[in-house]
Structure formats: structure tokens, C-alpha cells
Amino acid sequence: MSNRTEDSGQPMTDRLFATERNPEDFRFDASVARVFPDMIRRSVPGYTTIIPMIEVITEQYVQPGSNCYDLGCSLGASTLAMRHGIPYRDCTLVGVDNSSDMLERCQHHIALDDHELPVTLRCEDVQTTELSKASVTTLNFTLQFVEPPQREALLQRIADATLPGGVLILSEKIRFETDFEQDTQTCLHHEFKRANGYSDLEISQKRAAIENIMIPETLAKHRSRLQAVGFDEVLVWYQCFNFVSMLAIKKA
Ligand SMILES: Nc1ncnc2c1ncn2[C@@H]1O[C@H](C[S@+](CC[C@H]([NH3+])C(=O)[O-])CC(=O)[O-])[C@@H](O)[C@H]1O
Ligand SMILES: O=C(O)C(=O)Cc1ccccc1
């Protein structure tokens, strides 16, 4: 089956792992950026529910005169959800990603979205990007790509930059405490991918490509670290199989 071309104006189908390829770590390069909306929708159970809920959560917690950050913004799906949830003209919205291929396309998506709140895009590492006066920060499936020993420092910087009453929306693929649950949830995730048209070869090659660079942790680990860096409450507001979204709240 041939892929749809960009010239047709149709969304591109992810066939990146459809033929046998050399084992190589996954990278957010131009070929991934081209098919990313299709890839993430067919690969992450709940993604299409989480995105509109990021708008709802943003609207609930955004504060006038504050900054909002989307860390690991990719093509801007979570950024635009945040934008639509911000009713104040004196807020700033910043999207950060270290893939220039992603950000180039993100810029385009933002320009097509007719809305008055400007979006600033930074091609930077989320670990060093400047953060301050934050009411809503989103890490929608980004922390899992940061090396585990670096994760606490990033979350500490976010917590320190978060205003009283502010939040972090943290979505992650998680791992489970027991082998039984880990195997069962992984199997269900693979069935979800199969139902979305991925073959066994695509599933196994993608799994090998992400295993060294995308490292899931347990919910208990996420909770205790979020509390250790200064968030007062951590709740799970969404879960489908091994994909979870948490809300970490700093009390007012
Ligand atoms: N250290 C880093 N610094 C900056 N960017 C990074 C880093 N590590 C990874 N990224 C970026 O984080 C994004 C993760 S995708 C986010 C989806 C989006 N939030 C969405 O709601 O559509 C999730 C996924 O592919 O599963 C990619 O664009 C990377 O370039
Ligand atoms: O595809 C998978 O199996 C995943 O776990 C999610 C994913 C989605 C997009 C890029 C990398 C990983």
C-alpha cells in the first residue's frame, strides 16, 4: 500500500516501521514529524480524549498575568488546546521542543489556528528552558523521553516556577508493579495498535526503536517524586491501559 502524499493535502499515514529495517533508536526527525498526528493517534490510547481535556484543565487553572508552558509541544496539539483554554489577553503561552523538524510544522499549525493569543515557540531542551510565573504547565508524553536521572531536576524547576494554585498536567506511558499487570496492559496496548491497522512487524520494530529512549516509570514513582519537588496533591484524571495523565497541584 502506498502512503498518501503531502501534495494531496491529506494527512500522512504512519508506515515508518512497516518494512524490515535496521535496529536504530527512534528520533523525532523530519520523517516522524510528517506522520506524527497519525502516529500518535493510532499509538497512544486516549490521546484523542486527553487533548481536548487539556483545554478544560487549562481553563480551570490558568491565572491572569501568568505564563503557560507546553514542554515537548511537537506539532502543537497540546499547545493549541491550552491556547483555547486561556481567556486572558495578558497571559503568555510558550511551546518548547528540541526537534526543529517538529517545530517548523508546529509553527504552521499555529498560524492556521485563528486565535488572538500569541504563541512563542522555543527550539530548546525542556531541561534548560527558562520558566517563571507558571499557572499551567503541560508535559504531554514528554517526560518519558528525558533520561530518568534527569527527571527530578526538571520537575523541581517546574514546581519552583509554578505559582500558588498552579498545576502541572503530566501524561506518561507507565510501567506496572507486577509482571501480570505489566504483561496484560502491554498486550492490550498492542491490541489497540493492531485494531488501528499496525501489523505485528510494525509493533515489534517500533517497540525495539523506543525501548532505549522512552523509559516508563511506575505511578508510585511519579507520585512520590511530584510530591518531593513540592506539588501538594497528585491525582490521576485519566488512564487507558498503560497510558496515564496526572494533575499535580500546588495549593493556593
Ligand atoms: N529534552 C527535550 N527537550 C525538548 N523537547 C523534547 C525533549 N525530549 C523529547 N522532546 C520532544 O517531546 C515530544 C514528545 S511527543 C509530545 C506530544 C505533544 N505534547 C502532543 O500532545 O501532541 C510524545 C510522543 O511522541 O510520544 C517530541 O516532539 C520530542 O521532540
Ligand atoms: O508507539 C508506541 O508503542 C508508544 O508507546 C507511543 C509512542 C508514540 C509516538 C512516538 C513514540 C512512542
What distance in angstroms lies between residue 15's CA and the mean position of ligand 2's atoms?
13
205-232 tens-digit pLDDT: 999 999 999 999 999 999 999 999 999 9
- 42 CA distance to ligand 2 middle (Å): 9
SS3 category, 182? helix
Identify which ligand lies nearest to the alpha carbon of 196: 2
Distance, in Å, from the CA atom of 73 to the CA atom of 94, rounded to the nearest integer, reads 9
105 lines ligand 2 (CB under 6 A): no
Query: What is the atom index within ligand 1 of the atom nearest the CA of 125?
Result: 3
Q: Does the beta carbon of 126 sit less than 6 angstroms from any atom of ligand 2?
A: no
User: C-alpha cell of 54?
Assistant: 487539556
The string of pLDDT tens digits covering residues 40-68 is: 999 999 999 999 999 999 999 999 999 99
pLDDT of residue 10: 56
Assess contact for 73 and 139: CB atoms under 8 A. Answer: no
pLDDT-based confidence at 22, cuts 50/70/90?
confident
Are the CB atoms for 245 and 56 separated by under 8 Å? no
- Please indicate whether residue 210, judged by its CB atom, sits closer than 6 Å to ligand 2: yes
Local structure of residue 237 (DSSP, 8 states) = E
pLDDT value, residue 7: 45
CATH of region 47-175+214-249: 3.40.50.150
- Dihedral over Cα of 24, 30, 36, 39: its sign: negative
Which H helix or E strand runs over 78? helix 77-85
DSSP state of 94: E
Which of 27, 28, 43 should be mutated for ligand 2, with most atoms under 8 A from CB?
43
- Are 198 and 39 in contact, with CB atoms under 8 Å apart? no
Which residue shows C-alpha cell 508506515? 15
How confident is the model over 100-128, as pLDDT tens digits? 999 999 999 999 999 999 999 999 999 99
What ipTM was predicted for this assembly?
Answer: 0.98
If one residue of 16, 175, 194, 210 were mutated to test the ligand 2 pocket, choosing by the most ligand atoms within 8 A of its CB, it would be 210
CA gap 212, 24 in Å, rounded:
10
Mean pLDDT of the chain: 95
Q: Which atom of ligand 1 is nearest to the CA of 51?
A: 21
Cα separation, 186 vs 184, whole angstroms: 6
How do the domains of the chain map onto residue ranges?
47-175+214-249
User: Probe ligand 2: pick from 17, 214, 217, 244, max atoms within 8 Å of CB?
Assistant: 214
CA distance 59 to 154: 24
Find out whether 242 is annotated in a ligand binding site: no
Radius of gyration of the chain (CA): 18
Ligand 2 pocket member 171 (CB < 6 A)? no
